[in-house]
A and B are shown apart, each in its own frame.
Chain A
């Protein structure tokens, strides 16, 4: 396997409503990464982006987004209708061919123009689920109830995830919703999708994230603090909730095992916890204990720019490693209802 490192990263704040266009969101990040590495745009060998036209209701918006990378010289690029973390997966695999040295990976989305709870059901089964308008919030409520019934969590556990995350978000300059609020206070709120309360849900956000990958010696030449991708894997659970035990993620367990995530201590885990109960499910599936700091950024509960939320987990984990706050970290991204699709990535510092 080729040694691939994240050599630069950037993200926008998570905005409730970003007033400019999606290409504008991305363009600032492209320029920041080129400035930091001193690279010319023509030195980017491959570009891959993750976005979703349905979010802002503009067919072929992903084509407009290519404007952000510069119209000239022509861009060698690809696109996934998935979170930027899945674009990272494709970029990583593409680099294994060994013929390119650099790859720019982006994830972006503007959820503010549309109504996410009406859009997301369209990613479900078109016969059995989409016509019911079965949305991720409702599925998160059903998953949360499964945890309660199985005795794996109580409502206070959900509130504690929210309380800790929103407090951690206070020191994250990119966070959108933060608070210093106790679990007791949170538990006084009414239900929204029982047993979930509104604070168990992520905010509606606009935003983007980006990383630059480089291979071997090129990575070492571009930065003094490369963050190596030691492994990346993604797995899909059935899209029929009735065929799953919603409190477990056997696919993610396989990914964790194959990546040998416990072969060395995991200092930080940036997990795609969009609904607070998801942290309970993920912690168990990944076998994380008190030795691992979970979502020091505050996680998606503090900002959920759909299509960039997963790649933002990679950026947050990479930032902690590059800064020396962690030596080894895992980043997780998810897609689909009730953690149906999961991506896991092991990151490590060192020359």
Chain B
């Protein structure tokens, strides 16, 4: 049975300084006011730092605009995304505010597309909870506007936060899937390049040395024995969320017959003083029911939760010269 698609969330919490022009604009939004900036006889809203024609820095000469305005263009968004200001159908519109000579792009909430028209009048409404962001305001048809008191905040807005949070769903590639299924079955499945003869585990599905795509026919099973080719001893720092308390080892292990090592192997029961490059080890798999590969992605795959421990075999060490060049 195929493994479920890999699902993950990628987040970048941005904290941005706002500068001398966006700052006063966002301060205005927080306080329930809209501002444009003067530019050679025109008023540009939202305000920008530079003259769009000449690139000259604009003087910080702000003009209060709105709260009413006129729709210059609009589009009714039948299926909003999670990132839109409203989770029900709404319109994005170009809105020219009273006193401004340019239009602002923003959201208009209305009963439906039949309530929207080019030239219609709209009015700014403010969110009860404002976060010093462009989303503090939105617009409604003028007849539906309710002017409520917006209590001014303290000081100037200097920072605006924007959490970027994106979700992804992707099936594992065929080579990664077979590697994962192998681990779940207690086996190591790699791929041998038909061109260079190099054996990759885990394989990305291609040989980057000889530029050849590999298929099921190139799969090879590797033994559970190998050699330590690199390691680091990690002493945990007690940060928030840290679960480790005692030093532990992360090792790279080159399986016999492989040309690329398995990275990030967890070593808990071999004392650091005895651990060394060249040490011969054997994988002891977990019981089938407790194996998992939940942390696999197409970008990175270790050995999941499939291996209980790496056990020294007692064989003589492999001389350093034989593993040099395969350490990673």
The answer to whether B205 touches A64 (Cβ under 8 A) is: no
The answer to whether A131 touches B78 (Cβ under 8 A) is: no
- Using A28-B213, A71-B208, A131-B162 as known contacts, say yes or no to A192 and B78 having CB atoms under 8 A apart: yes
Contacts of A195 in B (CB 8 A): 75
Contacts of B118 in A (CB 8 A): 145, 149
A138 to B173, CA, bound (A): 33
The answer to whether A241 touches B209 (Cβ under 8 A) is: no
A132 touches which of B76, B134, B205, B298 (Cβ 8 Å): B134
- Could you name 29 residue pairs across A and B whose Cβ atoms are closer than 8 Å? A19-B174, A21-B206, A23-B204, A23-B206, A24-B173, A24-B213, A57-B10, A59-B10, A68-B206, A70-B208, A70-B211, A112-B170, A114-B168, A117-B81, A118-B82, A128-B104, A133-B85, A138-B75, A141-B75, A142-B94, A143-B73, A190-B78, A191-B113, A193-B75, A193-B76, A193-B77, A193-B78, A194-B76, A243-B52
List A1-59 residues whose CB lies under 8 Å from chain B: 19-21, 23-24, 27-28, 30-31, 41, 54, 56-59
The answer to whether B168 touches A128 (Cβ under 8 A) is: no
The answer to whether A119 touches B170 (Cβ under 8 A) is: no
The answer to whether B205 touches A20 (Cβ under 8 A) is: yes
The answer to whether B168 touches A57 (Cβ under 8 A) is: yes
Contacts of B299 in A (CB 8 A): 58, 61, 64
How far, in Å, is B15 (CB) from chain A's closest CB? 11
The answer to whether A126 touches B16 (Cβ under 8 A) is: yes
* Chain B residues bordering chain A, tally (CB within 8 A): 63
B75 touches which of A28, A71, A196, A238 (Cβ 8 Å): A196
List B82-122 residues whose CB lies under 8 Å from chain A: 82-85, 92-94, 96, 102-107, 113, 118
Contacts of B76 in A (CB 8 A): 141, 191, 193-194
How many A-B pairs have beta carbons closer than 8 Å: the answer is 182
Contacts of A19 in B (CB 8 A): 171, 173-174
How far, in Å, is A49 (CB) from chain B's closest CB? 15
Seen from chain A, the residues whose Cβ lies within 8 Å of a Cβ on chain B are 19-21, 23-24, 27-28, 30-31, 41, 54, 56-59, 61, 64, 67-72, 112-115, 117-119, 121-122, 126-135, 138-146, 149, 190-196, 238, 240-243, 246
Contacts of A21 in B (CB 8 A): 173, 204-206, 298
B167 contacts partner chain A, Cβ-Cβ < 8 Å = yes
The answer to whether B103 touches A242 (Cβ under 8 A) is: yes
The answer to whether B107 touches A145 (Cβ under 8 A) is: no
The answer to whether B75 touches A72 (Cβ under 8 A) is: no
The answer to whether A121 touches B83 (Cβ under 8 A) is: yes
A67 to B105, CA, bound (A): 42
